[in-house]
Structure 1
Amino acid sequence: MPNRGDLLEKLATESGVGLRTCLEYREGAMKFLYRREGIDGDEARDRARRLQELYRAESNPADKGGLTGHGRLRGSVHYFEDLLVLTLPADDDPTFGFSVGLDVGSDLTQFLDSCRETLFVE
């Protein structure tokens, strides 16, 4: 069972992360677990739907063995001019996505692994 509260606490207290949003995608539906004050809800939902489609498109080849020999997809990162969007899939369902400021830095894979460990207790 995913540790949603623990992940949100980690993201909120992690130095320099600048959490903007955190969502849970399950069976075609999405739910905001967190949306920073000042971020428009309608615009955030629209962006979240577009990012969900982007994630589906990139994860489909990986799920079908497109990256054989490199293991299963453990996370996805989309780098935009003003933010990073990270996606962490569960082995079954749901998938979690969150957006953070660009100051996460070069320790991104360590950060992703730490978030996965917090969320899924790996």
Structure 2
Amino acid sequence: MAETEELIDYLESRAGDSLRAVGKYSGETCSLEYVRDDLAHEKVRDRLEAIQANITWSWNPPEDSVLEELGPKSASLQVREAAVILHLPAEDREGVIIGLEPGAASDLTSFITDCMRYVGDTSGVD
């Protein structure tokens, strides 16, 4: 996996104060590599562990020939009311999880909110 410190430097310069946390995982093991100073380290670590525990089934569905035609997956994204979570798979069962403030993806979250108006209940979308 690429140097995590270099990624964190890039994220700090690109996302600024919107960067909350960066974690990496390998198999069942995960480590919190960066936490913004104003956040509770333990709480963020617990969130990272919960996210990592669910990655295999919710963010890495089995690939089939139809999906393979689209090319390899480079990232997965969860947009939540209070966070944007980016998953960057590196290798089989390895990757990086990045937590951002919702405002870091304001164009995307606004677009999703607009689309949800056509889909149904938007109570969970900000």
Q: Contact conserved, 1:25 with 1:31, CA < 8 A, in 2? A: yes
1:102 alignment partner in structure 2: 102
Q: Contact conserved, 2:26 with 2:94, CA < 8 A, in 1? A: yes
Q: Contact conserved, 1:78 with 1:85, CA < 8 A, in 2? A: yes
- When normalised by structure 1's length, the TM-score is 0.73
Specify every segment of 5 or more residues in structure 2 that has no aligned partner in the other structure, as ranges: 110-126
1:47 alignment partner in structure 2: 47
Using the aligned pairs only, state the percent identity: 22
Question: Relative contact order: is structure 1 or structure 2 higher (C-alpha 8 Å, sep ≥ 6)?
Answer: 1
1:73 equivalent to 2:78? Answer no
Residues 35-86 of structure 1 show CA distances to partners (whole Å, capped at 9, x for unaligned) of 1112222221221122113321134424x32723222221111111121010
1:111 alignment partner in structure 2: none
1:119 alignment partner in structure 2: none
Cα 1:45–1:99 change in 2 (3 A) is same
1:83 alignment partner in structure 2: 83
Specify every segment of 5 or more residues in structure 1 that has no aligned partner in the other structure, as ranges: 109-122
Flag the structure with larger Rg: 2
Deviates more, 1:30-39 or 1:40-49: 40-49
Q: Contact conserved, 1:17 with 1:104, CA < 8 A, in 2? A: no
* Distance (Å, rounded) in 1 between the aligned partners of 2:41 and 2:16: 23
SS of corresponding position for 2:68: coil
* Distance (Å, rounded) in 1 between the aligned partners of 2:17 and 2:74: 20
1:37 alignment partner in structure 2: 37
- When normalised by structure 2's length, the TM-score is 0.71
